[in-house]
Structure 1
Amino acid sequence: MNSMGSNQVWTIVDPPKGVRPVGSKSVYKRKLGADGEVTTFKARLVAKAYTRRPEVDFEETYSPVAMAKSIWVLLPITTWYDYEIWQMDVKMAYLNGFVQEEI
């Protein structure tokens, strides 16, 4: 949070009249190893999807995370056809992108 604040990633503004922002909540999980001991702690910030309204904000849902299965399928295809693979930093592309619609 400090890094994003110092890089001026966002500007806090009041929502337009008549607009109710989608809320969020934190989800915390403990990942257990084979021996039953806690190996890692995970924390995620998720949107409260039940606050969305039909015909207004149901249409567009994005997930910037690629499934491992998809990557494992694409790697042999790129090798077979001698394609090039480019990597991009989705997090920074998302944070530094210009948004034209109201969120």
Structure 2
Amino acid sequence: MHSAYSLAILNIEPKCYEDVILEPCWREAIRAELDALNENKTWILTSLPSGKKAIGCKWIFKVKYHPDGSVERHKARLVAKGFIQVREIDYKDTFSPVIKLETLRVILALAAIKGWHLK
């Protein structure tokens, strides 16, 4: 475990797209991320309303390791720079596809007590 941590410290992960685009392993990681975003229908291309500017994005690159310290895979993530948005002006609702474990436990407990059928 300590060897994986040591390798992670010694390995300098790329900071920008230009640093990785020539490496096949990173190109594959980028392709996998874009395929996942498209498959999940993460966005819809549309025209911008007048007077609005598009939100920029940034690539984040990480190397994932096995417990023995060997490289498991290269991970690329495309992140929107949403911090420039203003609530109620640029957006009204937010969505997070994550459920808290406590919420899931409460729902399952209620279902068990009430005899609800869950799909």
TM-score when normalising by structure 1: 0.50
Secondary structure of the equivalent of 2:83?
helix
Match of 2:106 in 1: 73
Contact 1:25-1:46 at 8 Å conserved across structures: yes
1:80 to partner: Cα distance: 1.6
Structural mapping, 1:13-32, within 5 Å: 13-32=46-65
Residues 33, 10 of structure 1: alpha-carbon distance in 2 compared, 3 angstrom cutoff = closer
Structural mapping, 1:14-93, within 5 Å: 14-32=47-65, 35-39=68-72, 41-53=74-86, 55-57=88-90, 59-86=92-119
Partners of 2:95 and 2:43 in 1: how far apart? 19
CA deviation profile, 1:35-85 (whole Å, cap 9, x unmatched):
555556544333212211354126422112223343233222211211122
What are the ranges of 5 or more consecutive residues in structure 1 without an aligned counterpart?
Answer: 87-103
Partners of 2:78 and 2:110 in 1: how far apart? 34
Percent same amino acid among aligned pairs? 30
Secondary structure of the equivalent of 1:27?
strand
What are the ranges of 5 or more consecutive residues in structure 2 without an aligned counterpart?
Answer: 1-33
TM-score when normalising by structure 2: 0.45
Secondary structure of the equivalent of 1:22?
coil
Tell me how large the CA RMSD over aligned residues is. Answer: 3.7
Larger radius of gyration, structure 1 or 2? 2
Contact 1:23-1:51 at 8 Å conserved across structures: no
Residues 75, 42 of structure 1: alpha-carbon distance in 2 compared, 3 angstrom cutoff = farther
Structure with higher RCO (Cα < 8 A, 6+ apart): 2
Match of 2:8 in 1: none
Contact 1:78-1:85 at 8 Å conserved across structures: yes
